[in-house]
Structure 1
């Protein structure tokens, strides 16, 4: 497409940024003169940063969401980044913690230069950094890094930096009501309570924000401990924010709301249920597994000993036996404000063995640019069954230049599940109707993990549930009755899993590490392997990996595929279980 329309669509993200600039400047104008900085009651505790990212910055490479960008200038504010997650992440100031983790004089000077460069260019309300969640994160990062910056903060520089705190806090307090995403609102409110507790003169705001956060916890997190987005990583960040609120209110002698504490007690076991054996979170609906050790640190700081039950947690079922853990998505993808990050992952699962990730979803693609916005969200990027290369939830068509992720246009109207446990292991049976409208079929999956963790069995069934479904399927294959429809089962392997295809088509031998050997078998289809990708924000680029694929065709409105992962050899934990690489501990 060319001409005026294509030019306008290509400029659409920049037009959105210009609109945001105008709104931020208008808000500052309404607020009038900023309140003066009066001092600190306390500061935010140091934040874990990445000293390697700081070293890269000193050598001329800026690391944003794991990706490296050449930066020959002394500040990153002229980098030609696409509008979207990358640019917003830069404006959240997480890099302050990276420089503080390095802790050298050069790191301190560079951090100060970036900070002052941002003030010169964006402090009036320009740029993409004025959404409630980004402002709140920026304030937390500044308050945590002030002791690190103190040696180079002369009188005038100190006034410029500390003057930004009450000014940006007033802005965030004024616009927090515009945040419609539940988890971002919770996280932003938690950050603003912490900021208000730190700043002298913000006692009234602290009280009001604490009450608002308490009410939001009661209405959003309780009694289930879940968030609407069903993003495990987002829930982890919410819990971290609530814990920080509790701790800073204790330090400053103030009371934490009852619903805030209750939410901490409720969310903690939910996150424990979503933890795989390698210490990472299951990666669903735009969430990554977290950085190494991050989840365990947060769970430890919660001071909650309650363990999860066997019931579903936030729509996920945890099956475990021995050293093997599987987490299965048994609920509808989210709609509403979070639908732009929702994945078509219904009945998909992730699997770990020991401290090793084994079967993984492709992962979140938002940090790798617009070309990775769509495919990682499709059903084929998850460990489940796809029909005719379609998805159980359909993504809306891309618009404009593709810089904005699109919501799900359709979702299953029904997802049901039942589960059982006996001495042999744990079972779950789940069903969704995401293929009903187009094919007249429902997908039913049965998944079993043995009590010893040495067997994982699955059965995937497609069937028409009634006469109406049978007619719809017949209409779908009309004119191609001998071909029918294609069925594809996907099992994406973690990049560190070694794969031996020498015994195809009967079986595939897999070695995830730790001396284990697993064998994959199937019946009902053709066994193959294909390329895949593993996406993680801690990696500079997508990591190439492989996937197991089972292909079949059906001319009937009923089809069944059976498959299994069976451990054929176990030499026990080896040194690899405690090694480095992508493993999380």
Structure 2
């Protein structure tokens, strides 16, 4: 008798209690659940697209109305990994009708038949953990109307994957992949008969990962806000599973949740989306609200920075700034050269953004998205403040190296405004210049004032600056101060070309002005958004000039027009999700 056939595949009392906990109501006599489960976090729009046969994974769209998911040839490894992770199951459950259930059942048992033997790209620790979580979460939805043979195949496969996780979770990369693997193992250990002994080691290992991977600010080494949200979601799910099964949540586990929650609140804009830094996106619609609602109720603010980010907030205006060094080591494989870059959101409308991660659009877009010119900060002589190393021999990932080594920062809350002063030395080695930036947000949220300086701080830096000027044969070193705009912002030059008028869909009007000494222009830009097939066209404001002296200063202000009301009732609906 094989190892797998000895594992019981029957439901246990614990499993029944677990499913009852996960569902608001019992299935009807026909076996169907009339509403999505309360912890369903999928996208209804994406679920409808899947039901209609449109497979959008990792930036690729394939049509498969009649064939299954596994008969389609994957265009690349990222597409293959995404479908093997079964996160799409959340989207089908969000739809929850008969057609969505049939599609989910066909694809799940198709995976068991084609890939359930334990080999291939789907059998990595993180993808297996992600898959096991979905199978257990949505078991009622999946098993409704299935016969004993199908049910036995489901539990046998789940048992096989649990055994695999128990032996291979250590192979997952520390960070989000390992949290996925351990959470999946905890879920399965609590749910499967005869596998209870696997839960305790996984619980201890998860506690250790919380201590080593979550810092005092509640952040991750990767400094990716969206990744932090995913880790937080996994930890709250694991906590809920432990409490429901009558087990204690380890102090390190609970403390990690309590540290992450305020950090996430600091990384959220006024529209509910996350700041887009270091490979992270805005997060799935409603995911952060759902996760925070399940976490600790305390709204204590983190002291100082949150995962290396500073947040200025007044009324309905939020400004989030990358105010720390870029990640290093393996954590830098998704890092961006974005130190001192900022994003600004007014109410429900993003205004100033960073271009974002281009990972789903191919290697060249991914590299472009990581460069300094793709962020709302200063770029010197067309160079990034850090560079990409040669691809790693095994992972084929490019680390971000030779970036800034110092980022001094000071936050000051004054009577009528909040001010942040910061600097980085990313251009000092090559040009002898330090970039210093001051941002001041007025207490009514109607004005953000910026002061950017390029400084040669000591004699050695001044000599390097002079030598660079002589080498280039120019009178100065060119700089570009960039402000990337969200695609929904309607921008045009105003006041004879000395200002830029910015119209939001809410009806608000913002105006960008500068103090002179630089050339102002509008140029095309791009917005790299996950879930779309191609980059979105946008615009950017650029202030350009030359650093000639040892100190160069550029002042600017972004403020609401005087005729823009203090409170705007934003009733314009966003456009529906699209493949465009």
Residue 571 of structure 1, aligned match among 551, 565, 571: 565
**Structure 2 counterparts to residues 22-421 of structure 1, below 5 A:** 35-40=7-12, 41-42=14-15, 43=18, 45=22, 46=37, 47-65=40-58, 67-309=60-302, 311-397=304-390, 404-421=396-413
Residue 460 of structure 2, aligned match among 461, 468, 481: 468
Question: Is residue 281–residue 357 contact of structure 2 (8 Å, CA) maintained in 1?
Answer: yes
CA distance in 2, matches of 1:482, 1:335: 34
Residue 512 of structure 1, aligned match among 504, 507, 527: 504
> 1:36: how far off?
3.9
Local SS of the residue matching 1:477: helix
> 1:332: how far off?
0.8
CA distance in 2, matches of 1:157, 1:279: 41
> 1:241: how far off?
1.1
- In structure 1, what is the equivalent of residue 31 of structure 2? none
- In structure 1, what is the equivalent of residue 553 of structure 2? 560
Residue 580 of structure 1 pairs with residue 552 of structure 2: no
CA distance in 1, matches of 2:7, 2:443: 62
Question: Is residue 373–residue 405 contact of structure 1 (8 Å, CA) maintained in 2?
Answer: no
Residue 425 of structure 1, aligned match among 417, 420, 438: 417
Distance change in 2, residues 1:52/1:367 (3 Å): same
> 1:581: how far off?
3.1
Q: Unpaired segments of 5 or more residues in structure 1?
A: 1-28
Q: Please, what TM-score do these two structures have when normalized by structure 1?
A: 0.89
**Structure 2 counterparts to residues 438-457 of structure 1, below 5 A:** 438-457=430-449
Question: Is residue 44–residue 91 contact of structure 2 (8 Å, CA) maintained in 1?
Answer: yes
CA distance in 2, matches of 1:482, 1:216: 52
Structure showing greater relative contact order (alpha-carbon pairs closer than 8 Å, 6 or more residues apart): 1
Distance change in 2, residues 1:474/1:380 (3 Å): same
Residue 478 of structure 1 pairs with residue 450 of structure 2: no
CA distance in 1, matches of 2:480, 2:508: 27
Distance change in 2, residues 1:87/1:504 (3 Å): farther
- In structure 1, what is the equivalent of residue 450 of structure 2? 458
Residues 350-392 of structure 1: per-residue CA shift (max 9 Å, x gap): 1111222111111122222333211011111111001111111
- In structure 1, what is the equivalent of residue 29 of structure 2? none
Distance change in 2, residues 1:57/1:306 (3 Å): closer
Distance change in 2, residues 1:325/1:310 (3 Å): farther
> 1:532: how far off?
1.3
Q: Please, what TM-score do these two structures have when normalized by structure 2?
A: 0.90
Question: Is residue 55–residue 63 contact of structure 2 (8 Å, CA) maintained in 1?
Answer: yes
CA distance in 1, matches of 2:5, 2:426: 54
> 1:65: how far off?
4.7
Question: Is residue 515–residue 573 contact of structure 1 (8 Å, CA) maintained in 2?
Answer: no
CA distance in 1, matches of 2:549, 2:568: 48
Residues 522-564 of structure 1: per-residue CA shift (max 9 Å, x gap): 2331111111111222334321111111111223343222111
Local SS of the residue matching 1:478: helix
> 1:465: how far off?
1.9
CA distance in 1, matches of 2:56, 2:569: 31
CA distance in 2, matches of 1:550, 1:63: 38
- In structure 2, what is the equivalent of residue 17 of structure 1? none
Deviates more, 1:269-278 or 1:368-377: 368-377
Question: Is residue 223–residue 308 contact of structure 2 (8 Å, CA) maintained in 1?
Answer: yes
CA distance in 1, matches of 2:303, 2:247: 36
Local SS of the residue matching 1:415: coil
CA distance in 2, matches of 1:152, 1:404: 45
Deviates more, 1:430-439 or 1:341-350: 430-439
> 1:72: how far off?
5.0
CA distance in 2, matches of 1:491, 1:287: 19
Deviates more, 1:493-502 or 1:338-347: 493-502
Query: CA RMSD for the aligned pairs?
Result: 2.4
Residues 176-231 of structure 1: per-residue CA shift (max 9 Å, x gap): 11223323323432332222212222222111111111122123325331111111
Local SS of the residue matching 2:254: helix
Q: Unpaired segments of 5 or more residues in structure 2?
A: 23-36
Local SS of the residue matching 1:581: coil
Local SS of the residue matching 1:189: helix
Local SS of the residue matching 2:236: helix
CA distance in 2, matches of 1:247, 1:398: 40
Distance change in 2, residues 1:34/1:405 (3 Å): farther
Residue 482 of structure 2, aligned match among 478, 484, 490: 490
- In structure 2, what is the equivalent of residue 500 of structure 1? 492
